[in-house]
């Protein structure tokens, strides 16, 4: 099994299989999507890269009070953290606006998740192959809530690339959960992940 790339390889290539330029008439005008994942996975970067409005961030500087509490292994360069949420918006179609809510990645801020998840249609779990275990809390949370989600592997330059089946096995994902590749810094790549996420929900609802 191969990854579904969120970046077209050449002009005219559809990055998401089954993508349509015409959005089905039964789609709601506004869709709330959660952007979740481990600490340092790139959630804030993703929201900022794709949002057509100035994104709202609740970031604070990391301090010594977090030592021994926050797991920064593998992301020692990170100097800030989201303490409540990130928020952005993107228009996919003239009838479809996506409202993105980025969740805090640290354990001590998980009390925010229930509030952020209220009314969400689906979620994107942003995964870092250098720290795959940090994806488990988000995956477990959405599985317990029955909220559809996709896993988007953020392609960090210094991260080792793994086959999709290896990532699926490592994260113990159900066969129907899509695994995508994503560069959280690039607008088009993120947009294709969001389109794939909405399409995943539509496919589930049409069964």
Q: Are 43 and 102 in contact, with CB atoms under 8 Å apart?
A: yes
Tell me which fold the domain 27-205 belongs to: Rossmann fold (3.40.50)
- How many angstroms separate the CA atoms of 87 and 46, rounded? 10
Give the residue among 138, 116, 106 at the shortest CA–CA distance from 56. 116
Domain range summary for the chain, segments of one domain joined by +:
27-205
Q: Does residue 113 register a pLDDT over 80? A: yes
Beta strands in the chain (DSSP E): 4-5, 30-37, 56-61, 80-93, 96-102, 122-127, 149-154, 179-182
What pLDDT, on the 0 to 100 scale, is given for residue 55? 86
- How many angstroms separate the CA atoms of 188 and 166, rounded? 26
- How many angstroms separate the CA atoms of 19 and 37, rounded? 25
Quick: pLDDT tens for 40-75. 899 999 999 999 999 886 654 444 444 444 454 544
What pLDDT, on the 0 to 100 scale, is given for residue 107? 64
Quick: pLDDT tens for 126-169. 999 999 999 999 999 999 999 999 999 999 998 899 999 999 99
């Amino acid at each position: 099994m191969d990854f579904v790339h969120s970046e077209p390889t050449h002009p005219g290539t559809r990055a998401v299989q089954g993508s349509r330029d015409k959005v089905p008439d039964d789609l709601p005008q506004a869709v709330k999507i959660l952007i979740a994942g481990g600490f340092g996975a790139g959630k804030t970067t993703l929201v900022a890269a794709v949002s057509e409005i100035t994104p709202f961030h609740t970031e604070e500087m990391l301090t010594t009070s977090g030592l021994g509490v926050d797991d920064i292994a593998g992301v020692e360069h990170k100097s800030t953290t989201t303490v409540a949420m990130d928020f952005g918006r993107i228009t996919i179609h003239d009838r479809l606006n996506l409202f993105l809510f980025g969740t805090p990645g640290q354990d001590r801020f998980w009390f925010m998740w229930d509030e952020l998840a209220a009314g969400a249609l689906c979620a994107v779990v942003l995964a870092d192959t250098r720290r795959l275990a940090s994806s488990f809390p988000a995956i477990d949370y959405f599985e317990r809530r029955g909220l559809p989600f996709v896993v988007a592997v953020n392609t960090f330059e210094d991260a080792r690339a793994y086959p999709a089946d290896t990532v699926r096995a490592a994260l113990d994902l159900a066969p129907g959960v899509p695994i995508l590749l994503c560069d959280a810094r690039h607008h088009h790549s993120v947009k294709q992940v969001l389109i794939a996420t909405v399409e995943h929900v539509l496919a589930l609802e049409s069964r």
